[in-house]
Structure formats: C-alpha cells, structure tokens
Amino acid sequence: MKTSFILGASALALLSAPAFAADCPIKLGGLAPLSAPGSVTGGEAMRDAMKIAVDDINAAGGLLGCPVELVVVDTEGLPERGAAVMERLITQDGVVAVGGGYHSSVGIAAKDVADGKGIPVVFAETWNDQITADRQKYIFRIAPLSSEVSKIYAQFAATIPEVKKVVILAENTDYGLPASEETKAGLEAAGIASSTFTVDIGTQDFSGIIERIRAESPDMIIQLLTGEATYNFTQQAAEAGMGPGDLPMTCDQAALESGAFWQNVPDGNLCFINAVGLPRALYNDKTNAFVAAYTSATGKSAAESYAMEAYDSIGILAAAITAAGSTEGDAIVTALENITYSGTLGEITFPVNSSNPPEAAGKTPNFWHQFPDPAVTMVQYQEPNQLAADAVVVFPERYKTGEAIISGQ
C-alpha cells in the first residue's frame, strides 16, 4: 500500500542531506494492553492493526532499504508496566520509534521514558491532555484530547430534553478522573446536574455501585470506563433495570467490537458509543483498504476506531522516517512536525510545534504535537446484535446518519 505524505520546507531540507545509515531490520515498537486489567479487546485490535501496517510497509519495500520489524509489548493497562516495557523496547529491543498505546495512565508513565531517551512516540489512543500538554519534544498524539471528547459527551446530553441529571461512572485512572471532571464541567455549563462515582480499573462486580446510582435517580448514565469492565457494568445495570434499554446510557469504545459486546452484553441495545475516526460514509481509500485487510485478518465485521488509530500511528512514523531519510530521533521529529499524512483517520498534521508553539498558534499547551481535528462522534446500536459497521451516527450534526432512539420514550 502506498504511503502518501506532504512535507514542509524544513522537512524537505532533510531530503537533500545524506541519509543516516540504518541498521537492518528497522525496529518499531508497539504498545498494547494484552492482558488484564487492561482492555484486552482493545489491545488485541491494536496489535493486529499495527501488524497490518508493518506488512503494508514491507510490501512497499520497507524503510531506507531495510525491512521493518514490529515489536509489540503488553502494557497490561498499568502505568508501572508501561514505563518498564517502554524501557525494554528502547534499551533491549533497539526500536527507533514507538506507536500504539491505549490507556492514558500507561501513556503518562511511558512518555517520560521515551522522551528522556530521544525516541519519538506517536500515541494512538491515549486521551489524557497532559500527554501533550507538557510539550515534550519526542511525544506526538493522533487520538483526541480528553477535554475535547468530554465536550462531545456534554453537548450530546444537552440534546436530550429529558436529561436533567446525569450520573458519571469513571475509572480511577489518569483517563477516568480528569475526563469525569471535564464532563461534569461541560454538563454544568449546559445546565445539567451530575454526580460522579469512581471504580478501580478492571472492576467486575458493580452491584454496590448500581444501587448507589439508582438512589440518585439519574436521567442518563455516562460511562468513563475502558475495556471489558464496561461490558460488566452495562449488563449488570441492565439486569437491575438501569441499562441502556431503561434510560440513556453511553458505553466505552470496546462496544464497537460488536461480536464481543453482544456476547457479553445481550441487553446492550440502544447504548450510545463514542467513536473516533471517519464515519463509514466518509471513508477514504486508505480507510477502505485497511478495513478490508483488517476484517479479512480478524474475521470481524468492521475496524474499531482504536484499530485505525494504531494503524495510523505506525504508518505516520514510517512516513516520517522516509521523509527524514534517517532513523535518528531528532530527524524523525522534524519530519513529523512538517508532515501531512493521509491515513485511515483522514489528513493528519501536527500544526502546533517547535516552529509554531501554542502561544503563537493561539492554542492551549495540550495542542502541542496534537492532531487537532480527529472526527469524534456518538453512534448508537438500534437493533439487538447489530454490527458496529451499521451503528447509527446520531451526533454531531455534521456526521449524523440517523436520529437517536431515547430509552423510555
């Protein structure tokens, strides 16, 4: 598959310089949670997507005359594990750059290791604003900012006239805690009251929390959980008469793996799901090609948003190495700062960078090395056992494919 990218002037200058010799094979690292308490569903999807990306790169001739080797490590969704495996990737496996990454807590811990050793990272699915807000030289992100996604949750809730009070259920992590605060602030600005409950990552029994939520008499539940825990909560809430068929409820992106979702959450119909990436009607050639390869390799009916992000995180690193003519960290960073990459998520750039810092760009620090405009939507399953590819986009208006079905109406 051909990789397309457009370079700015400073990156073009790199091409006129002699290329750094590369040791073959060129190794790229991949972060993914492949065991509990991490999101195994998400991690396996990201691993499969990154493998396809490397297969495509090698089929196109590799990088700098070398084949590419992918080294995927299991973060387990734990920050201490994330830091340890990042150290291993760099010092033992000899990777020149790293993609992937699912849990924000892992990203927060692992980024400092990579930046300290001058290894570029393009995070795929870590949302916490702080990952880019401290303006580290070697850290980039193509996932949306948590603060921007929280606005979508609040704005969507405000479109449902019956919603006057929301319960936010958040995991006690670097994703869940700031996201709950940001969502609460957005709801308050919309005139909607809210209460927040927190649980540990990987929680399985939600019976106690469900009774506490029931006592709040909410009009809507917003889940800020990751992975299989969201399956547990949604089904247990449904069995207690508080599921998505009883009142509006959001589910984690793990619900987009429709086979696993319906197996674990048979009463999950009408759940709203936050999805990142282009809606199916707007897929470009790269998206269509990846989805075809991914569904063929995995047997799934669609490619999840985090799979697309993982694929692009490796693809854009490869494009930057090609542009730089080097596997040296500073050269890759310069290429990334000047790149326009056509990926499954659309046209990816990092416009807030060393030559256009946040204060000059009129942006807050969290937009540093950040893909500024990923498509973020709310989709809804509107039939039992519906495939993720057929879920209806209900918000925002620019991407809408159908009307939301509001539970209880």
Q: What does the pLDDT read at residue 389?
A: 87
On the question of pLDDT at 228 being above 60, the answer is: yes
Name the amino acid, one letter, at 398: R
Note if the pTM is more than 0.85.
Answer: yes
Q: Which residue, among 247, 312, 245, has the nearest Cα to 276 in the 3D structure?
A: 312
In 226-326, where does DSSP find H-type helix?
Answer: 228-239, 258-264, 285-298, 305-324
Q: Is 95 helix (H, G, I), strand (E, B) or coil?
A: coil
pLDDT one-digit tens code per residue, 283-340? 999 999 999 999 999 999 899 999 999 999 999 999 999 999 999 999 999 999 999 9
Q: What domains appear along the chain, each with residue ranges and CATH number? A: 5-145+284-367 (3.40.50.2300), 147-279+377-399 (3.40.50.2300)
Q: Are 141 and 185 in contact (CB under 8 A)?
A: no
Q: What does the pLDDT read at residue 21?
A: 44
Joined together, the tokens standing for residue 258 give 């429709």
Name the amino acid, one letter, at 125: E
Number of H helices, E strands in the chain: 14, 15
Q: What does the pLDDT read at residue 4?
A: 42
The helix (H) or strand (E) run that includes residue 55 is helix 40-59
Q: Is 154 helix (H, G, I), strand (E, B) or coil?
A: helix
Supply the DSSP string of 87-107, one letter for each residue.
Answer: HHHHHTS--SEEEE---HHHH
pLDDT one-digit tens code per residue, 119-153? 999 999 999 999 999 999 999 999 999 999 999 99
End-to-end CA distance of the chain: 48
Enumerate residues 6+ apart whose C-beta is below 8 A from 276.
Answer: 125, 143, 144, 253, 305, 306, 308, 309, 345, 374, 375, 376, 377
For the chain, what is the mean pLDDT? 93
